[in-house]
Chain A
Amino acid sequence: MSIVPEPLTHFPWRVLGILLGIAFFGTLVLYSAAGGSITPWAINQAVRFVIFSGMALGLSRIPLELFARFAFPAYGAVLAALLAVELIGGVAGGSQRWINLGFMQLQPSEFMKPIIVLAVARFYALLPVGEIRRWNAIWPALVLIGVPWALVLVQPDLGTATMIAAGGVTIMFLAGLPLRLFVGSGLTLAAIIPIAFSFLHEYQRNRVLIFLDPESDPLGAGYHISQSKIAIGSGGIFGKGFLKGTQSHLDYLPEGHTDFVFATMAEEWGLFGGVLLIGAFLLLFRWGIGVSLRTPDKFARLVAAGLTTTIFFYVAINLMMVMGLAPVVGIPLPFMSYGGSSMLTVMLCVGIIMSIERSGRRRVGRHSNWG
C-alpha cells in the first residue's frame, strides 16, 4: 500500500474539504453581510462549524449498529419533545418551537428531519422482504411520518413539515414500494390542488398569487422575494464585488444573513459564486449517494441516501425560495445561513453518512444484511 498510514487515508478528506469550502465561503458572506465585520455572525458561524465538524467526526466513529438500534427510541424521544414543545407553547399562550439550551435555541422539529429518515429506514430494514408489496409495508411508515408531520405543521412550520414528509417518502421510495403508488399519489395531488385552491379564503388565495407573481405586491408579502431576485439579478455574472452589495448593505434585502443569505452572496459574487456553491453542494450529494450505493447493508444504504436527500431538500427548497420558485417557507441554506440548528442537523446527517462510509469500508467482504 502507500506510505501514508491507513487512518489518514481513511480519514474523510474529500467530504471535509467540500464542507470546509462551503463553510468558509459562508463565513465570508456573513462577514460581508455584517458590513465587513467578523462580529456578530462570521465568528460565531466559524466557531460553530469547527465544533459541529468535531461532532460529525465523533459520530463517524460510532458503529452503524448503534444508530440502527437507537433509531426507534430516538424517534420516540424527539416525538415526545415535539409534543412537549406543543404543550409548553399551548400553556404559554403562544407558538413556541424551541427549547433554549443557553448557547443556542434548539428546535426538536429540526432533529426530526434526520431522525425520520433513520426511523423509516429502520422500519424497512426490519420488514421481511416478502412483505414489501403488501399494505403492511405502507401504513406503519405513513404513521411514522404522519404524526411528526402533523405536529410540526400545526406549529405552524410548513417548511419543516414538508421536509419531514419528503425525507420519509424518499425512504419509502428507495425501499422499493411499487412505483405506481408514487405516480398515483402524485397525480391525485396534482388533481386536488386546483380544487383545494377554490376552497381557499380570499387572502390565502392572494398569498398564493403573490408567490406566483411577487412583483404584484412589491411592498407587502412579495417584498422578500422581489428584493431577493433584485439582489441576485443585479449581481450579474461576476457580482458587484466583495463588500459591495447594495441590496444587503442598505437593508433592502430582508433576512440577508439567514434565509436569504444566498441572495447576499449572489449579489456580490454573481452567477460565478452561485455555480461554485451549487456545484459544491452537488459534490456533497454525489458523495452521499455514492456512499449509499457502495454500502451493502440495507438500513445503511437507505439512511445514507435518505440523509443526503434531507440535506438536498434544505438546499433545494432554500434556493428555490430565494430565486422565486417556491413560497417563503423559512428553510435555511446549510453552512451559509447564520444559525446553529440547521448546521447541527446537517452535521448530524453528514456524521451518520461518514459512519456508514467507515463501517462499509470495515465490512467489505464480510456479512451483509441484504445477503
Chain B
Amino acid sequence: MKLPKFKKKTVNEAALSFTFTRRAMVVGGLQAGIGALLIGRMGWISIAENEKYNLLSESNRVNLTLIPPRRGWIIDRNGRPLANNRTDFRVDLIPERMNDPDRTIRSLAHLLALKDEDIQRIREELEKSQGFRPVQVAEKLTYDQYAAVSVRLPDLPGVAPSQGFSRNYPAGAAVGHLLGYVGSASAKDYEERKDPLLITPGFKVGKDGLEKSFDRELTGKPGAKRVEVTARGKIVRELTTRPDTPGNPIKLTIDAGLQEYAGRRLATQSGSVVVIDCHNGDVLAMASMPSFDPNSFSDGISHVEWEMLSKDDHVPLRNKTLQGLYPPGSTVKPMVALALLEAGISPMDTVSCAGAIRVGNTLFHCHKRRGHGSLNMRGAIAQSCDIYFYQMAQRIGMDRIASMAHRVGMGQKFALPFPSQSYGTVPDPAWKLKKYNQKWQVYDTVNATIGQGYMLINPLQMAVMAARLATGKQLMPNFLFGAKRPAPAPVGVEEQHLVTIRDAMSAVVNGGGTGGAARINLPGVMMAGKTGTAQVRRITMAERGGGVRSNASLPFKLRDHALFQGFAPFDNPRYAIGCIIEHGGHLNRNEDAPMIAADTLSYLFDQAKAMEKLETLEKTWGGTPTERQARQMATFRTAKAIEKGEAPPPEAANATSAANVAEGSNSSAAAAADDAPPPPGAGAD
C-alpha cells in the first residue's frame, strides 16, 4: 500500500531522498572514521610515545633539589677544629619568584625581627641580584623562627627557608686572615662554571685565605632531594633523599691555641705575629689583628660593620702577615752581622760610636744621641748601634749584604696556599739601576743596613729570617700538616758564625740590650731576638735640632712601626717568631713587639702561665678582641645614628693605648737616619 504512493513521486524527489540516505551514510562513516583516527592518535601518544611523555610527566612532577655538601673541617695540628660546621636554620629569597618584594621583606622583618641594617643589606643585594641567585635573609635562626616562616610560605612567594649547615670559626677574629671566610658564589662564578650547586641556597665557597685556596678539597659532593611539586612550585611530599658527601678535612700546621693566643696577645694594636717551627718550617701561628670575624663575614656582613672595618685605621681588612710590607728596621742587623762575619770581619773588631757619622755630605745619626762609645759586634747588636753597622757595611759593600738577605728569606716569594702575597724588596745596586735608573750610593748601603730605605719585609718573611738565623737552614714556611718537602738547603754560613749571632741576639734580650722586655721567665728557656723600629716619616734637621718629637705626640699614622724577630731557646732554637706592631711607636711596653713575641713563644713552653698573664693584661685592655669589637661596633653604630652620613673615626682602640702612654717604653732602638728616602709605599698607609 505504500509503494503505489512512492511511484507517484517525481524522479527528482526520489533521487533527493536517495542522495540524503547516501550522504547521511557518508557523514556517519566520516564520524566513525574520525573516531577511529582519534583512537589511533591516542594510541600513538599513549603507547608509542608513552616513554617520552612519562619522562616529561615525571620531570614535571619531581623537583630535584641539591643539598649543599657540608664543607670539610679545617683542623689544627692537634686535630682541634679551626673551622667546622654548625646546624642552622636559614631563610633565603629567590628574587625571580618574588612578586611583591617590599611586602615580603616587611613580613620577614616582622617574623624574624630583622635589624634595619639587615633589611638595608637585603634590599641592596636584591637590587644587584640577577634573579637566579638566592639572597640570604637570615642565618642561625631558632627553630621557632624557622617554623614561623615555613607555615606562612603560601603568602610569601620567593621565600625559601631551609635547614642546613653554616661555617663556624670557634676562634673568631683570631683566624680571620689565616682562614679567610666563605660566602655565596658570585654571579661571575656561576657564569663561569654553570654549576647549579653554586646557586643552591646555603652553598658557600671559600672567599679568601685558606678557605679559598683549599676550596676544591673542602667542597664535598652535594646530596639530592627529590620532591613532588605542583605547577606553582609548592612541595607536596618528599620522595627520596641522597645524603651529601662532606668535603675532606684539611689539617694545618697551625696550633689553634697558639693562634688564638697570638691574636689576643696583639692586644689593641694593629699588628701581626708569625710563629715558625725551627725543625721543619711549619707555621704554628699566623695572626693579623685586628681582624674581621670570619663568622660574621660568612653570614653576609652588614653594611655598617663593613663600613666600620674599612674605616678603621688599624686596617682589620688587610692581612698584614702576607700583604703588609714594612721597612724591617734594626731587625736586619743580625743578618747584616752574619754577612759581615762571612766577609771575614772579626766579631771582636770595634767601632766607636759618637752618636753620628758623616756619609758623603749627610750626617747619619745613631738612635742614641750621645753615642754608644766603643762597641764590638755583640755590643752593637745588643744595643742596636747604627754607627757600627754604617761603618762596617761600607767595608763589605751592599752586594754581600743583599746576598745574605736573600739567603735568609728576605724578598723571597714562598709557595703558600694564599691567594695573594706581597714579598718585599731587598735592594742592591743592580736592582736600583733597573728600577730607578740611578747609581747605587753609599748612603743607600747605610740605609739598607738599618733596614730602612728601599728595604721591605712582611711579617712572615721576618719569622722565616728568624728561623733561618736560628738554624742556618733555609726553612720554607709550610701550612699543611705532614706535607712532604725536600730537606732545607743550608743558608751557607759557618756554624761558628751562627753561634756568634745567636749569642748576640740573646744579649739583646738577656744581656742588657734593647729587647729586655722579651725576656722569658722560664727556667732553661732563654729568648734570643732583635728589636726594630721602622720610621714612616722624615725627620728634618730643624726638628732634630729642637729634639725629635716623641711618638706619643704624633698622630697614629705617623708613629714608628715596632718590630721584633727572635727565637727560643737561644742555644737550641725550637721556635722562631716575627712580630710587627704597625705604628706602635714603642708607646706601651706591654703592647710592644718584644713582649708580645716573648709571651707568645712562652705559650709553647708553659701554656698555663702564659694564659694567666694574658688574662690579667686583657682586663686592662677592655676584654677579649671579640668583646672589644662588639663594643666598638656599638659605639660606631651610635655615632652613625647621631651623625648620619658623617662617620667619626672609631676611637675605642686608640683610646686604650693612649691611656697607657704613661708606661711608655724606652727600651727601643730608634733608628735615626736623616736622609732616609721615604720608604716606597711601605709602612705608611
Contact = CB atoms under 8 A, between A and B. Distances in A.
Contact of A232 (B19, B27, B34, B53): B53
Contact of B35 (A132, A282, A298, A302): A282
A339 interface: no
A371 to B, nearest CB: 5
B28 A323 contact: no
A289 B22 CA distance: 12
B56 A316 contact: no
A289 B53 contact: no
Contacts of A232: 42, 45-46, 53
Given A174-B20, A251-B232, A234 B41 contact: no
B472 to A, nearest CB: 72
A173 B49 CA distance: 38
A233 B13 contact: no
Contacts of A289: 24-25, 27-28, 31
A250 B231 contact: yes
Interface string B214-244: 0000000000000011111000100000000
A306 B41 CA distance: 26
Contacts of A323: 38, 41-42, 45
Nearest to B12: A129
Interface in A213-241: 227, 229-237
Contacts of A264: none
A275 B61 CA distance: 26
B47 interface: yes
Interface stretch (A76-84, A97-105, A142-150, A266-274): A266-274
B17 interface: yes
A246 B61 contact: yes
Given A174-B27, A316-B34, A271 B20 contact: no
Contacts of A301: 20, 24
Contacts of A251: 230-232
B38 A316 contact: yes
Contact of B24 (A132, A236, A271, A293): A293
Nearest to A229: B45
B361 interface: no
A279 B36 CA distance: 9
B38 to A, nearest CB: 5
B157 to A, nearest CB: 15
Interface stretch (B2-10, B367-375, B378-386): B2-10
Interface string B26-40: 011001101100110
B57 A237 contact: no
Nearest to A306: B27
Contacts of A348: none
Contacts of B8: 371
A316 B19 CA distance: 25
Interface string A282-321: 1001100100110000100110010011001000100110
Contact of B60 (A250, A275, A292, A365): A250
B59 to A, nearest CB: 9
Interface string A12-55: 00000000000000000000000000000000000000000000
Contacts of A270: 46
Contact of B54 (A236, A237, A293, A305): A236
Given A233-B49, A323-B45, A176 B32 contact: no
B53 A230 contact: yes
B5 to A, nearest CB: 5
Contacts of A176: 16, 19-20, 23
A323 B46 CA distance: 10
Contacts of A355: none
A146 to B, nearest CB: 22
Given A270-B46, A271-B42, A325-B41, A370 B228 contact: no
Nearest to A272: B46
B492 interface: no
Contact of A231 (B9, B24, B57, B228): B57
Nearest to B6: A371
B50 interface: yes
A60 interface: no
B43 A271 contact: yes
A274 B43 CA distance: 9
A170 B23 CA distance: 10
B38 A233 contact: no
A72 interface: no
Nearest to A247: B57
Contacts of A302: 20
B52 interface: yes
A53 B281 CA distance: 96
B540 interface: no
A227 B230 CA distance: 13
B38 A278 contact: yes
B21 interface: yes
A233 B24 contact: no
A235 B17 CA distance: 46
Given A236-B50, A316-B34, A132 B16 contact: yes
B23 A278 contact: no
Nearest to A292: B24
A281 interface: yes
B46 A282 contact: no
Interface string B53-74: 1101110110000000000000
Nearest to A309: B27
B10 A129 contact: yes
Contacts of A316: 31, 34, 38
Contact of B31 (A236, A274, A309): A309
Contacts of B23: 173-174, 176
B10 to A, nearest CB: 7
A282 B16 contact: no
Contact of A266 (B32, B42, B52, B56): B42
A252 to B, nearest CB: 5
A130 interface: yes
A233 B61 CA distance: 15
Contact of B47 (A130, A175, A236, A319): A236
Nearest to A232: B45
Contacts of A271: 42-43, 46-47
Nearest to A285: B31
Contacts of A281: 35
Which of B9, B39, B45 has its CB near the most chain A CB atoms (within 10 A)? B45
Nearest to B42: A274
Contacts of B229: 250
Which of B9, B24, B39, B228 has its CB near the most chain A CB atoms (within 10 A)? B24
A234 B50 contact: yes
B236 to A, nearest CB: 7
A123 to B, nearest CB: 15
Interface in A325-371: 325, 365, 370-371
A325 to B, nearest CB: 6
Contacts of A130: 12
Contacts of A319: 38
Nearest to B14: A370
Which of B25, B47, B231 has its CB near the most chain A CB atoms (within 10 A)? B231
B27 A170 contact: yes
A130 B54 CA distance: 60
Given A129-B10, A323-B38, A246 B20 contact: no
Contact of B2 (A170, A250, A309, A365): A365
Given A282-B32, A370-B9, A371-B6, A234 B54 contact: yes
Contacts of B41: 323, 325
Given A173-B27, A174-B20, 13 more contacts: A132-B16, A229-B53, A230-B56, A233-B49, A234-B57, A236-B54, A237-B50, A250-B229, A278-B39, A285-B31, A293-B21, A301-B20, A370-B16
18 contacts: A173-B23, A176-B16, A229-B53, A230-B53, A232-B45, A233-B52, A233-B53, A234-B56, A234-B58, A236-B50, A236-B54, A246-B228, A250-B60, A250-B61, A250-B230, A252-B61, A252-B231, A323-B41
Interchain residue pairs A-B with the least CB separation, the first 7: A233-B53, A234-B57, A289-B28, A251-B231, A176-B19, A250-B230, A233-B45
